[in-house]
Structure 1
Amino acid sequence: MKIPRWSKITLIIFASIVALVLVIYIGLAAYVHFNKKKLLATVTEKLNKNLNGKMTIESMDPTFLKGFPGVSLSLRNVILRDSLWQNHQHNLIEAKDFDVAVNIMGLLKGTIDIEKLGINNATIYLYTDSNGYTNTAVFKKKKQQEKGKEGGSSPAEIGKITLNNVNFVVDNKKGHKLFQFVVDELKAKMDYHLLGGWEADIKLKTLAKSLAFNTRKGSFIKDKLLEGPFKVSYNDGNGIVEVAPNKLNIGSNGFIIGAKFDTGKENTEFTINIEASEILWRNASGLLAPNISSKLNMFNLDRPIHAKCRLKGNMGPGGEPEIYVEAFIKNNVLTTPGGVIDSCNFNGVFTNNHLNGAGFTDANSVIKLHNFSGTYKQIPFSIDTALIENLERPIARGIFKSRFDITKLNNAIGAETLKFTKGTANVNLAYAADIVDFKLTKPLVSGDIDIKDADISYVPRKLNFTNTAILLNFTNNDLFIQNIRLQSGKSVVFMDGTIRNFLNLYYTAPEKILLNWKIRSPQIHLGEFMGFLGSRKPASKARKKNNHKTSFSEDLNEVFEKSNVNMHLSVDKVYYNRFLATNATAELLLSEAGIAIKNVSVKHAGGALKLNGNITQRAGLNRFTVNTVLSNVDIKNFFYSFNNFGLTSLTSRNLKGYLFAKTNISGGITDQGKLVANSLNGSVAFDLKKGALLNFDPIISVGKFAFPFRDLNNITFTNLNGRFDVRGQNITINPMQINTSLLNMDVAGVYSMGKGTNIAVDVPLRNPKKDADITDKEEKKARRMKGIVLHLLATDGEDGKIKIKLNRNREQSR
């Protein structure tokens, strides 16, 4: 095949050019080889010319093929020190290998233009001492006039920069900053603009050993591998370096990162923007400084979140940068120290610059949660905006809203104290609370909790309420309980209450809580509230052992038992077993120790009863003390209502008349409200008017001996008064005169409901009707015991019944 003539000419020209280049390159290589000492001196002199310090290069060797068609120089053991190196001992640059590709034409002109710079196995250490001096002062700053005198010469332009195994450190003692990166690989291709400035395409792979904007608070992204490309530009006019947003891997997560550095400012101001479309909560917190991550790690989100972060600050002594973080959470599971929140949604913001000018500190930090919603223990709720301010001493604020089936509260607070089986709750509360160990304490709350149509059991006291309605109104520290309707069995109660300083005392001193109740009711059956008499049922040990009991339930249970309740009652009808009272008013003080009863006033058995007393609660036995005043009470109904006060011989069937009495009695009462046998202790002073003693066996037994022909089943008297002293099973009958229509008698002694009955009965056989017309009281008294007097003694019989016999000791004394 014949080659065309023009092709031959082209090949000859190309071969000639190649040969010429080779000749020139070989000549340059030879020149460098034979003049490397001179060139090293030239390079060193040129570099040191504009330095406030010294650069030393141990050796320089050409590497011809590596820089072809230019000449590449390999510098060994390059050290750059500032003039005050002796004081701080930190080399600005210390490189084992320093590769420089030099422009051929520059060499021919006697100048050195660097086309490529490679730094390998090196440490670059930018050091600033506590006074603000920096070793970068090794580079002289040219004045504007000096630049003009040099004829507008431009700084050296480096086409490519590579770093391999370079430890890059920025150590600012004055600003408490420490940045350290171990650069595994960096490749930068530079493009310079004619009017000044440059652009660079950079590929980076480095390990972040420290990114501490404040070494006292710790490092961001510590020990994380950074890998990815950058596009960086520099504006020579304003000194701004911009990093275009691009994907960078930090550890195992991908981020979009962009930045801006203003080198024209004295301390180089910067703004760094970071965004991750999907990142786990713990992975995100692990990139932050320990003072922040330690707080964030108290929480967790199960699924990845979308997060953005902006860091803004300067390289000078200004502490931490301004931090602004946004997070977007959808349908996630949030774990907090207080519990787990399902179906969680919110937009969150964190900033350490809540108030401009107050510093970038924990005290000026805030967490904002917008449009927060979720479910806690199956209870749905929402918070329009929640704030956590001052992370040094955190304070939480927000408006809590929820509407739910009240039975779901059993999961939230446990069923040891209150158990809900029906009803709805509507909650609207604004709150502000301290946060201790990331738990709300001592909250200030305002708003309402409205409970309707609820069935509630108070488990420790075994009390059940149906169709209950409660409105809780919180105003700062105070709690107003309004429009309460409680129904327990046949009892219906309407209540309004107030607790002053409730929220403060709830957490600090529940025993000082005083609940003032105003209670009204058409009817109360006291037997349905006997649970208040019993000692508390202890919380389930199994639940405590398994740690199922919530701290809120524990707090609530403690408050119920330690708090004091002052009740002001007004009840139309009060029922208790056989007892019925009307128009009842009373004041009751319920405390941890028991129940104080004050100013009780009721209408009963046609008369009035006033009562004061207390009940002391103990395990298995409750002690009571009562002081009563009875006025014009039908004694038959009175004894019947109180089950004859434990007496067996004298009952309501034996009595008739109207009783006026004062009692001071103490005793025991069971958890079921029953009187403990033989537990009474005290005294009873009575005055029975228009009375009658009906079918009373002890008198009938005496009458069989003394008055076998008289009717002793219906003994009437106009006035009977006396005093009984009660000591357990023994009742001491103080000397008492009984003046009846059929006989008179004097009675004194001890009546026992067990063993020990010893009652002396003096019965004159004289018929009282014979003295009925005597008007002189003294004469009537003197004639009362005239004639034959029968002295009898009532004692215990062998069959357990009372035995009547002659009282021979009394006859002998006469």
Structure 2
Amino acid sequence: MRKLLIWILALLILFVMAMVAAYYLAKKYEEPVRNYIVSEVNKRLDAPVHVSDINFSLLERFPSASLVMDSVWAEEDIVKIGDPDTLLFFRKVYLNLNVLDILNGQYKINEIETRDGFLRLKVDEKGFDNYRIWKESEDTTGFLLELDKVHIENGLLSYENKARDQEIKLTADDLYFAGSFSRKDYTMEVKGDGIVHELRLKGNNYLDERKVAVQSELEINAESETYAFKDGRLLIDNALDFNISGNFIGSGVDLSIVGNDLDIIRSLSLLPLESRKIFEAYSSSGILDFQCTLKGAFGRTENPRLQAEFSIENGAISKKGSKWKLSDLSGSGSVDNGERRKMTSTRLSLDVLSGKFNGDPFESQFVVSNFQQPNIDGKAKLKTNIQAVDEFLDIEFIDEGKGELWIDASINTTLVNPSESSARDFLNSKASGSIHISNAELRLKDDDRYYGIDSAHFNIVDNSLDIVNYTGRINDCELSLKGKADHFLDYFFTENGILNVNGDIKTGVIDLRALFPTEGESEGNGSIVIAFSQRATWDLNIQAESFLNGKFEALDVQGRLLMDEYKVEARNLKFGSLGGSMEGNAGVYRFAKNQFGVKADFDATALDVKALFYTFNNFDQSFIRSEHITGTASAVIHFQAFCDSTLNIDSRSVVATSELKILDGSLENFEPLISVADEIKKKPMLRLFVSTDELKKRLENIQFAQLENQITIRDGVVQIPQMDIKSSAINLNVSGTHSFDHEINYAMDFALSELVELKDRKEPYNEYVNRDETGRTRVFLTMIGTTDDFEIDVKRTNVKSTIKEDLQSEKNVVKGLLREEFTRSPSDTSSEVNQAGLPKVEIDFDPEEGLEKDSTLEQQSTEKPKKKSGFGKIIKKTETNKKKLGDGEFDDDDF
């Protein structure tokens, strides 16, 4: 125990003595060593180096003596490089020397250490660098720089060579260089690890934020600029282990790179592709062997010859977070940049790749040549599940899907711009094969509809897809389709390709509100939202069992359906509805954002009028409803208007005409007409001639054999020209206007003689009863106000003549508007439509044109008038005085 204490005491004494000696020597040599080294270093510098503080220590880097410099930074050589910048900066720099050399008066720096800083090396387009700040010197006495070790800790190093189009950026966590650097021929050992932020050669980034470890020996000959790798090893991400051998001679390279048992996905991510991030969602296992040779000149305009071979055995690739994967992968291939050693001559060949996709077998092979404008020639055979394909490839437009998928196809095409493929890349592509889908269910992103595919068979013919057979359903609407889809490849592989579909489609019941997205469904009054196909045009001959939209039902629908990004149009439509039939065209057109137009032209035959009013909810008015009217209607209808995306019609923009004919019709309990009798009852003179109670009773049910008119709509007003209603109660002439705001202005007139006869009539009046002679007195009435609040008045002047003149020109304007082309071509650059500026066209219109004269009136006029007496004299006076009045005017005493 005593001896141990003696040894400990002796060691402490020696340690103290050593510390004292070190302190003494440091004090003694600090000034001369520091001054001498700084002086000699400054003599050999071409650019200034700045140091905040310098200290000499024998202990900090023991057993070496060290000149410790704080906050060292240097300016770059600016002779040829341009404006000066900082070449380097380090928080600490240690210049290490041998203690014995210092005692012998020789100051040899044999090691440099740096901590926490950066070094920026640059070479410009003409080959001038910024880092030659050290002068050559033949003076070997006294001061010597005989480095044999460089240690960089936590240093950001960058090298940019614009002459060779190279750029390297890395962070060295712990990097050592060891060798006799002062010799012209020596071996340097390199060892260290860090992160490569960027390794860009000829515009291609090969390493991006990758962990790297390196260990190698380099045999260097400075005179011949030869660098030979001896037992080189490069480890990337602790997974990719490459052995490197060969040499650099001047600007040439002759290297061999061999990798065994590599990770498949990590190896693929070394490819020079900016989109390599796609591989981050996948993991892999198996054996990938890789062997590559680089041989030839390596300059700004020259590349070495690259030849590589690879093989895969028992490989597997899976997507993170998914149960679907590729397994049992095996295959081989090669990469060669060709005799020209350029991207245009590069060829990637996958001789064969086979395996299983989610347990289902597949095989493929392909060749990619000319990496600048890649030509792809490949084929694949696959049987799998749609859900597997969606999850594995992350297809953007599919929200969820399942079903069986078979693909056996080949393709040969050239991509002019691989980063942004376009439709023209597939115009002359050669493709063939077939696709089968069965028992599939799909839901698309931003689409509430359900798509079911019972069976589908497609043949690929170059850039077209032959739809041999497609049966399925959209929601509850069953359909079958046969036809052809042109530009299929550029639609599938590009973002701007447009699919052109032509064919025949047969459907079951089409419920429009169930088939298309709606707004406001929670309130129970959802309206259809117009959705135009942005990347497809459709031209289909359609046959549908029935078509439903609310209460409206069309049966046995036939026609031609046209759709693109500007329109949805149905042509040559034929269908049965409302007890009759309809033929014509209809379309919805897009002009600008939320600005659409509707146009329809139809011939309707034998429609049930009561059902028509009921189906269309009395056309959103309560003046005349389905319970008021019966009959069979035929019409020629022309309609156009502007609307929004939910088909809400702008009533002020409606322009329409309807050539209407109603047969065997009736007006039942139509209160506005019944109230005519009440108004006549208010007139004392008329009350003497007319049984208003009988008239009111007859007006409660007016039956007519035929009613014809041509109705027009413009500026929110329905224009009704004069029409003759020959009814069971009374013959009326009616005309007027009815606005969409439910404002009415009607004019009616009838012969006074009919009112006189009405009192004594014993049997129903009909059109075959003889009329009064020409020129008989007529009674004029008006109905003005709103449908909820109107007044009926008996007028003493012919208001009909003024209304008639207005209606004559109104029909001309409407016909002119309807003659204009309503639709727009896709090339139309106008994005807004001036609804208020519609042109006004005038043509001749006579509401009474074409009406036949009543032959019975002519017969009456030829008969000899009978002698009047008593009550008849009053009538005679009235008719005699009328000769002095204008048509439709009355004497005051008539009332």
Q: TM-score by structure 2 length?
A: 0.52
Equivalent position to 2:451, from 450, 460, 465: 465
Two-structure CA RMSD over aligned residues (Å): 5.3
Question: In the alignment, what sits opposite 1:697?
Answer: 671
Question: In the alignment, what sits opposite 1:501?
Answer: 487
Question: In the alignment, what sits opposite 2:510?
Answer: 524
Deviation (angstroms), 1:341 = 8.1
Deviation (angstroms), 1:446 = 3.0
Deviation (angstroms), 1:303 = 6.4
- 1:642-661 CA deviation, whole Å, 9 max, x = no partner? 33333322233333222221
Tell me if the contact between 2:217 and 2:230 (Cα under 8 Å) persists in the aligned partners: no
Assess, with a 3 A threshold, how the Cα gap between structure 1 residues 438 and 250 changes in structure 2: closer, same or farther. Answer: farther
- Where do 1:141-156 residues align within 5 Å? none
Equivalent position to 1:800, from 768, 783, 788: 788
- 1:351-398 CA deviation, whole Å, 9 max, x = no partner? 3277xxx6555434322235546899x898844213222224222332
> 2:537 and 2:546 mapped to 1: Cα distance?
26
Tell me if the contact between 1:747 and 1:762 (Cα under 8 Å) persists in the aligned partners: yes
- 1:81-102 CA deviation, whole Å, 9 max, x = no partner? xxxxxxxxxxxxxxxxxxxxxx
Deviation (angstroms), 1:608 = 2.1
Assess, with a 3 A threshold, how the Cα gap between structure 1 residues 615 and 803 changes in structure 2: closer, same or farther. Answer: same
Tell me if the contact between 2:439 and 2:455 (Cα under 8 Å) persists in the aligned partners: yes
> 1:283 and 1:512 mapped to 2: Cα distance?
36
Q: Is residue 655 of structure 1 aligned with residue 629 of structure 2?
A: yes
Q: Secondary structure at the match of 1:515?
A: strand
Assess, with a 3 A threshold, how the Cα gap between structure 1 residues 764 and 456 changes in structure 2: closer, same or farther. Answer: farther
Equivalent position to 1:277, from 260, 277, 291: 260
- Where do 1:559-638 residues align within 5 Å? 560-617=533-590, 623-638=597-612
Assess, with a 3 A threshold, how the Cα gap between structure 1 residues 739 and 505 changes in structure 2: closer, same or farther. Answer: same
Question: In the alignment, what sits opposite 2:712?
Answer: 725
- 1:441-480 CA deviation, whole Å, 9 max, x = no partner? 6454433333322333455454333455443432111122
- 1:166-192 CA deviation, whole Å, 9 max, x = no partner? xxxxxxxxxx9xxxxx9969xxxxxxx
Assess, with a 3 A threshold, how the Cα gap between structure 1 residues 433 and 572 changes in structure 2: closer, same or farther. Answer: same
Q: Is residue 309 of structure 1 aligned with residue 291 of structure 2?
A: yes
- 1:315-366 CA deviation, whole Å, 9 max, x = no partner? 9999844623224365455999xxx987694534223277xxx655543432
| Letter of the structure 1 residue corresponding to residue 747 of structure 2 | A
> 2:204 and 2:745 mapped to 1: Cα distance?
92
Stretches of structure 1 that go unaligned for 5 or more consecutive residues are 1-163, 166-175, 177-181, 186-202, 209-214, 230-242, 261-269, 538-558
- 1:620-676 CA deviation, whole Å, 9 max, x = no partner? 675312111112333233333333333322233333222221111234667666767
Q: Is residue 393 of structure 1 aligned with residue 373 of structure 2?
A: yes
> 2:657 and 2:467 mapped to 1: Cα distance?
41
| Letter of the structure 1 residue corresponding to residue 378 of structure 2 | G
> 1:328 and 1:698 mapped to 2: Cα distance?
90
Question: In the alignment, what sits opposite 1:448?
Answer: 434
Q: Is residue 791 of structure 1 aligned with residue 780 of structure 2?
A: yes
> 1:404 and 1:422 mapped to 2: Cα distance?
10
Tell me if the contact between 1:400 and 1:431 (Cα under 8 Å) persists in the aligned partners: no
Question: In the alignment, what sits opposite 1:763?
Answer: 750
Tell me if the contact between 2:331 and 2:351 (Cα under 8 Å) persists in the aligned partners: yes
- 1:745-780 CA deviation, whole Å, 9 max, x = no partner? 1111112353531111113341697784479xxxx6
Assess, with a 3 A threshold, how the Cα gap between structure 1 residues 388 and 615 changes in structure 2: closer, same or farther. Answer: same
> 2:206 and 2:565 mapped to 1: Cα distance?
54
> 1:373 and 1:695 mapped to 2: Cα distance?
82
Question: In the alignment, what sits opposite 2:331?
Answer: 347
Q: Is residue 735 of structure 1 aligned with residue 722 of structure 2?
A: yes
Tell me if the contact between 1:666 and 1:682 (Cα under 8 Å) persists in the aligned partners: yes
> 1:676 and 1:614 mapped to 2: Cα distance?
16
> 1:272 and 1:413 mapped to 2: Cα distance?
37
> 1:320 and 1:403 mapped to 2: Cα distance?
42
| Letter of the structure 2 residue corresponding to residue 450 of structure 1 | H
Q: Is residue 746 of structure 1 aligned with residue 728 of structure 2?
A: no
State the identity as a percent. 16
> 1:611 and 1:521 mapped to 2: Cα distance?
20
Deviation (angstroms), 1:737 = 1.5
Tell me if the contact between 2:467 and 2:484 (Cα under 8 Å) persists in the aligned partners: yes
Assess, with a 3 A threshold, how the Cα gap between structure 1 residues 735 and 218 changes in structure 2: closer, same or farther. Answer: closer
Assess, with a 3 A threshold, how the Cα gap between structure 1 residues 560 and 396 changes in structure 2: closer, same or farther. Answer: farther
Deviation (angstroms), 1:575 = 2.6
Question: In the alignment, what sits opposite 2:232?
Answer: 249
> 2:513 and 2:727 mapped to 1: Cα distance?
40
Assess, with a 3 A threshold, how the Cα gap between structure 1 residues 220 and 440 changes in structure 2: closer, same or farther. Answer: closer
> 1:370 and 1:527 mapped to 2: Cα distance?
53
Tell me if the contact between 2:383 and 2:405 (Cα under 8 Å) persists in the aligned partners: yes
| Letter of the structure 1 residue corresponding to residue 788 of structure 2 | G
Stretches of structure 2 that go unaligned for 5 or more consecutive residues are 1-146, 149-163, 165-176, 181-185, 192-200, 220-227, 248-252, 519-526, 681-691, 759-763, 800-887, 891-895
Assess, with a 3 A threshold, how the Cα gap between structure 1 residues 753 and 219 changes in structure 2: closer, same or farther. Answer: closer
Question: In the alignment, what sits opposite 1:642?
Answer: 616
Deviation (angstroms), 1:251 = 3.9
Assess, with a 3 A threshold, how the Cα gap between structure 1 residues 808 and 411 changes in structure 2: closer, same or farther. Answer: farther
Assess, with a 3 A threshold, how the Cα gap between structure 1 residues 509 and 728 changes in structure 2: closer, same or farther. Answer: farther
| Letter of the structure 1 residue corresponding to residue 536 of structure 2 | S
Tell me if the contact between 1:373 and 1:380 (Cα under 8 Å) persists in the aligned partners: no
Assess, with a 3 A threshold, how the Cα gap between structure 1 residues 727 and 254 changes in structure 2: closer, same or farther. Answer: closer
Tell me if the contact between 1:352 and 1:362 (Cα under 8 Å) persists in the aligned partners: no
Question: In the alignment, what sits opposite 2:90?
Answer: none
Tell me if the contact between 2:442 and 2:450 (Cα under 8 Å) persists in the aligned partners: yes
> 2:727 and 2:605 mapped to 1: Cα distance?
22
Q: Secondary structure at the match of 1:742?
A: coil
Q: Secondary structure at the match of 1:652?
A: coil
Question: In the alignment, what sits opposite 2:693?
Answer: 708
Question: In the alignment, what sits opposite 1:363?
Answer: 344
Q: Which moved more, 1:597-606 or 1:508-517?
A: 508-517
Deviation (angstroms), 1:487 = 2.5
Equivalent position to 1:478, from 464, 473, 496: 464
Tell me if the contact between 1:346 and 1:370 (Cα under 8 Å) persists in the aligned partners: no
Assess, with a 3 A threshold, how the Cα gap between structure 1 residues 688 and 401 changes in structure 2: closer, same or farther. Answer: same
Q: Secondary structure at the match of 2:707?
A: strand
- 1:270-326 CA deviation, whole Å, 9 max, x = no partner? 99876432356799899x9xxx86799788687695434264979999984462322
Assess, with a 3 A threshold, how the Cα gap between structure 1 residues 646 and 314 changes in structure 2: closer, same or farther. Answer: closer
Q: Secondary structure at the match of 1:363?
A: helix
Q: Secondary structure at the match of 2:610?
A: helix
> 1:381 and 1:597 mapped to 2: Cα distance?
45
Deviation (angstroms), 1:784 = 7.7
> 1:486 and 1:725 mapped to 2: Cα distance?
44
Tell me if the contact between 2:657 and 2:711 (Cα under 8 Å) persists in the aligned partners: yes
The count of corresponding residues between Structure 1 and Structure 2 is: 556
> 1:614 and 1:801 mapped to 2: Cα distance?
37
Assess, with a 3 A threshold, how the Cα gap between structure 1 residues 770 and 492 changes in structure 2: closer, same or farther. Answer: closer
Q: Is residue 406 of structure 1 aligned with residue 392 of structure 2?
A: no
